[in-house]
Each structure stands twice: as structure tokens, then as C-alpha cells.
């Protein structure tokens, strides 16, 4: 991946447009929220969002910051070919993050944000042959979740086509023996999808650990519940929660806006 000249990290806002700055703030908020809710893994994993008005470019985390250190000015701008357009920290990006996220951003234009995590519950469920079970209402949102078999650390571009084929038009995917992935038409939507998917995995790990027989709803009930979570059926997911989540962050530490 080609690099770009560095700029003063304290002066990033003057180098980008107002819309891009707003996306940077929301992206930094998403990283902070993932950490706040226990879904981060030090400097690993990635959240990306498209750059407004630049279909070929997206924003991603610098490879070396913890999630609770992310802020609007530090985000790296990169294009779909791997050229770094703006790297305020000089740390570059995670190769696996580029491979996974560039593939989805290139193929699914409606997707604005992509989130990938390695949580304990997510990795545990990713290793279960049964997959994600419809144990609770939260789980039923993902009754038709996608799965992608483990091929090793995602560094090779030839895996992109198989990853895309398995993801299809789903908003969530379990990467077998690896972790979780969600997508959304906005940062709030993708975060909401990941928060709910993570909760579903936590519920499954907790329920199975009890070593008792589980009572599962019928296939018809599960399918009906799943349909209620589909786009256009009810309110847009994540949008109502996002302002309240930003208020939470502002109270904890507003430096994500810097």
C-alpha cells in the first residue's frame, strides 16, 4: 500500500471538508463505544466508513492506537486500491483491515460502515458447529446470518471474492473460528447491528454454559421475528440511539471530537 505525506495532526480539520469531519467524529465515537461496551481487542480489528463525496475512499483507524484513544483527526483516509491519501499519525493501516473492508466497500455501494470484532463471545460462537441459535429475541434478528469459513489471517486479496459471496446482502456475518462482522448504511446502523450481534453471542455462551436443555421457538415464530428486523419494516436501526450514545461519550470523555 502506497503512503502519503504526513500533515500536522492538530491541523487535520482544516484539510478536510465539513461533511468528512462529521464522519470522522462519528467514526471516532464508534471506536470509543466499541471499547466502552467491551468489544475491542487492543489495536486489532477495524471500523471503516465511506468519505462523503469520494466513492473510492474510506476512513480507517491508524494501526497503533487503542480504541479508547481514537479521535476525529487521527483517522487514515485510504482508497480502494490501497493508496493512503491522508495519514496524520504516520502509523499506516492494518493489512487485514484493508483486504476485508475494501472488498465490501467496492462491491456493496449501499454500505457506508463496516465493523469487525474479535470478542470472546463472538469468537466462541464462531467455533460452534451449531452456529448462532435463536435462543432469544435478540438472536432472532440474525436467524439468517451469513457465515464465512476460516482461511487464515485475511491478508490475501483472492479471499475477497469468497468473503463477498458468503456475505451476500446480509448485515451480519460470523467469520468461523475468527470473529464477527456487521455492515450498515450508516455508522449508527452498523454499530447497532454489532451491539445486538454481540449480545446474541453473549446470550448463547451464557445459556450453553448452564448445561441444561434449551427451549427454542418454532421455525415459523423465528422467521416472523426475523422479518420484523428487516430494513423498511420498522424504524431505521441505530438512528434513535446514536444521539444518546454521543451524549454518553461527551460525559465520559469528549476528546473523540478532536
Q: Is residue 142 part of a domain?
A: yes
CATH number of the domain within which 169 lies: 3.40.225.10
Indicate whether 108 pLDDT > 70: yes
Q: Is residue 2 part of a domain?
A: no
186 and 238 in contact (C-beta within 8 Å)? yes
Confidence of residue 1 (pLDDT cuts 50, 70, 90): low
Q: Which domain holds residue 163?
A: 9-253
- The predicted pLDDT at position 9 comes to 67
Q: Is residue 1 part of a domain?
A: no
Confidence of residue 238 (pLDDT cuts 50, 70, 90): confident
Tell whether pTM > 0.85: yes
Q: What is the pLDDT of residues 160-218, one digit of tens each?
A: 999 999 999 999 999 999 999 999 999 999 999 999 999 999 999 999 999 999 999 99
Is residue 40 classed as helix, strand or coil in its secondary structure? coil
Confidence of residue 8 (pLDDT cuts 50, 70, 90): low
**What total of structural domains would you count in the chain?**
1
At 219, list the grid cell: 421455525
Amino acid at each position: 500500500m502506497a503512503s502519503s505525506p504526513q500533515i500536522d495532526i492538530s491541523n487535520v480539520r482544516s484539510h478536510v471538508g465539513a461533511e468528512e469531519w462529521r464522519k470522522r467524529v462519528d467514526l471516532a465515537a464508534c471506536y470509543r463505544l466499541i471499547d466502552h461496551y467491551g468489544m475491542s481487542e487492543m489495536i486489532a480489528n477495524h471500523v471503516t466508513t465511506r468519505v462523503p463525496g469520494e466513492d473510492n475512499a474510506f476512513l480507517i483507524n491508524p494501526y497503533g492506537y487503542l480504541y479508547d484513544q481514537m479521535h476525529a483527526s487521527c483517522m487514515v483516509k485510504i482508497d480502494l486500491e490501497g493508496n493512503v491519501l491522508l495519514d496524520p499519525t504516520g502509523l499506516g493501516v492494518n493489512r487485514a483491515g484493508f483486504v476485508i473492508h475494501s472488498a465490501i466497500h467496492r462491491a456493496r455501494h449501499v454500505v457506508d460502515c463496516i465493523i469487525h470484532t474479535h470478542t470472546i463471545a463472538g469468537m466462541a460462537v464462531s467455533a460452534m458447529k451449531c452456529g448462532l441459535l435463536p435462543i432469544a429475541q435478540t438472536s432472532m434478528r440474525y436467524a439468517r446470518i451469513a457465515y464465512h469459513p476460516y482461511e487464515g489471517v485475511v491478508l490475501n486479496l483472492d479471499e475477497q471474492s469468497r468473503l463477498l459471496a458468503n456475505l451476500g446482502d446480509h448485515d451480519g456475518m460470523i467469520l468461523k473460528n475468527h470473529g464477527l462482522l456487521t455492515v450498515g448504511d450508516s455508522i449508527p446502523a452498523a454499530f447497532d447491528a454489532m451491539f445486538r450481534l454481540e449480545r446474541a453471542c453473549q446470550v448463547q455462551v451464557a445459556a450453553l454454559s448452564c448445561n441444561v436443555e434449551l427451549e427454542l421457538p418454532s421455525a415459523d415464530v423465528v422467521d416472523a421475528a426475523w422479518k420484523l428486523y428487516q430494513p423498511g419494516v420498522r424504524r431505521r436501526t441505530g438512528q434513535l440511539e446514536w444521539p444518546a450514545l454521543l451524549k454518553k461519550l461527551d460525559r465520559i470523555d469528549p476528546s473523540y471530537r478532536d
